[in-house]
């Protein structure tokens, strides 16, 4: 029986031949497997590809054991958000829609072979977005650990056109395998694991029946912040940015000198619940020791209220420090 391989298979095969690293070869082989029709005529080829994947996975793991520390993306902006999901969920298209990054986007799976980084503008701040290869790609698991553990927020992107695959369960299971669990994970089972803030992103909301799929997802995962978008058509992207900002649990605080107008161009980024003392430390670690008092506009009982160092700040507050 002939294999009847589609053109996309030969494109992936070409990438395999041009690949220089074990990780690149694995990604191309995984793509070939995903594209290849499954019937008796492809059984032999299927087994051959699996053997090659096993070979290059072993080689990649040996390499990663030596250089694991190099898989690190320096945090920039007000926070770092990692996009993760299954093949063809639309992560790369989302990155391109909300940042100036130009990732490779294609209709076949496993297009993203290495992390892509871009900066997303939200109002007057920048948030770093990291698009990761599919979490189920064998070559990715070797080094995804560092990236996902260092990120401030994990955004799980799901394809709303896929009505059969339990995408979120697969992603959560893969995360647990590398020691990452959601904030609502049973406390008795978190030993040796790291809890991470997570956001659900339903992509391709423009497709038929996407609304029904999204309703089912929200019903199954009510404790996750969630937003439905279409990266291809730009639907609801501003809401996505707002929900990312809220999920990061950060605030923007502005400073002013006595008798002058506040500087509203470069806010101090703090964790939600931070105090005046922590804002002073963010400017300089020794600044709080010199601080006599502060005046706050915004979260005080009235504008220009004198407050203590323990006063809890809110997003948009303006502080005047007195030393």
Asked whether residue 93 falls in the same domain as residue 219, the answer is: yes
Range of the domain at 266: 251-322
What distance in Å separates the CA atoms of residue 187 and residue 185, rounded to the nearest whole number? 6
Q: Which of 49-53, 138-142, 268-272 has the lowest mean pLDDT?
A: 138-142
What distance in Å separates the CA atoms of residue 317 and residue 139, rounded to the nearest whole number? 45
Asked whether residue 179 falls in the same domain as residue 275, the answer is: no
Side-chain-side CA neighbours of residue 283 (13 Å): 20
Which pLDDT tens digit goes with each residue over 93-112?
999 999 988 765 545 444 44
Report the pLDDT averaged over residues 284-303: 85
Report the pLDDT averaged over residues 42-48: 83
Q: Of the candidates 222, 248, 274, which is a domain's last residue? A: 248
What distance in Å separates the CA atoms of residue 18 and residue 251, rounded to the nearest whole number? 46
Asked whether residue 63 falls in the same domain as residue 92, the answer is: no
What distance in Å separates the CA atoms of residue 135 and residue 166, rounded to the nearest whole number? 14
Q: Which of 54-58, 80-84, 247-251 has the lowest mean pLDDT?
A: 54-58
Q: Of the candidates 232, 248, 264, which is a domain's last residue? A: 248
Identify whether the C-beta of residue 86 lies closer than 8 Å to the C-beta of residue 159.
Answer: yes
Asked whether residue 115 falls in the same domain as residue 178, the answer is: yes
233 belongs to a structural domain? yes
| DSSP H or E stretch at residue 57 | helix 43-67
Asked whether residue 112 falls in the same domain as residue 260, the answer is: no
Share above pLDDT 70 across residues of the chain, in percent, rounded to a whole number: 88
Asked whether residue 207 falls in the same domain as residue 232, the answer is: yes
Identify whether the C-beta of residue 190 lies closer than 8 Å to the C-beta of residue 181.
Answer: yes
Beta-carbon count within 10 A of 310 CB: 9
2 belongs to a structural domain? no
What CATH number is associated with residue 302? 3.10.20.30
What distance in Å separates the CA atoms of residue 180 and residue 95, rounded to the nearest whole number? 23
Asked whether residue 86 falls in the same domain as residue 183, the answer is: yes
Asked whether residue 294 falls in the same domain as residue 172, the answer is: no
pLDDT interval class at 204 (50, 70, 90): very high
Side-chain-side CA neighbours of residue 183 (13 Å): 14
Q: Considering its fold, how many domains does the chain have in total?
A: 3
Asked whether residue 133 falls in the same domain as residue 223, the answer is: yes
From 256, 285, 251, select the one nearest 268 (Cα to Cα): 251
Q: Of the candidates 216, 248, 280, which is a domain's last residue? A: 248
Asked whether residue 137 falls in the same domain as residue 88, the answer is: yes
Asked whether residue 260 falls in the same domain as residue 193, the answer is: no
Asked whether residue 269 falls in the same domain as residue 230, the answer is: no
Helix then strand count (H, E) for the chain reads 10, 13
Q: Which of 39-48, 124-133, 226-235 has the lowest mean pLDDT?
A: 39-48
From 133, 147, 132, 131, select the one nearest 94 (Cα to Cα): 131
Determine the distance from the C-alpha atom of residue 274 to the mean position of all C-alpha atoms in its chain, rounded to a whole number. 24
């Amino acid at each position: 029986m002939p294999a009847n391989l589609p053109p996309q298979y030969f494109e992936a095969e070409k990438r395999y031949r041009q690949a220089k690293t074990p990780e690149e070869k694995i990604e191309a082989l995984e793509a070939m497997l995903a594209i290849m029709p499954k019937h008796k005529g492809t059984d032999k080829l299927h087994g051959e590809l699996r053997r090659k994947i096993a070979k290059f996975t072993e080689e990649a793991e040996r390499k990663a054991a030596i250089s694991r520390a190099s898989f690190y993306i320096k945090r920039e902006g007000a926070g770092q958000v990692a996009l993760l999901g299954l093949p063809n969920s639309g992560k790369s298209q989302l990155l391109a829609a909300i940042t100036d990054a130009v990732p490779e986007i294609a209709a076949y799976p496993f297009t993203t072979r290495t992390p892509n980084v871009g900066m997303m503008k939200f109002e007057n701040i920048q948030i770093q977005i990291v698009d990761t290869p599919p979490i189920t790609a064998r070559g990715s698991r070797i080094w995804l650990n560092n990236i996902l553990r260092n990120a401030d927020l994990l955004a799980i992107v799901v394809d709303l056109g896929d009505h059969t695959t339990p995408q979120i369960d697969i992603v959560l299971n893969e995360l647990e395998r590398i020691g990452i669990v959601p904030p609502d994970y049973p406390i008795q089972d978190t030993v040796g694991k790291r809890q991470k803030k997570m956001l659900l992103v339903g992509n391709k909301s423009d497709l038929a029946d996407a609304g029904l799929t999204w309703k089912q997802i929200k019903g199954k995962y009510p404790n996750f912040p969630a937003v439905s978008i279409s990266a291809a058509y730009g639907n609801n992207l501003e809401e996505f940015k707002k929900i990312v900002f809220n999920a990061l649990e950060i605030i923007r605080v502005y400073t002013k000198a006595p008798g002058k107008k506040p500087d509203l161009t470069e806010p101090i980024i703090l964790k939600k619940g931070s105090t005046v003392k922590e804002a002073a430390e963010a400017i300089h670690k020794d600044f709080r020791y010199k601080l006599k008092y502060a005046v706050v506009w915004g979260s005080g009982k009235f504008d220009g209220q004198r407050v203590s160092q323990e006063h809890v700040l809110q997003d948009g507050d303006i502080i005047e420090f007195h030393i």
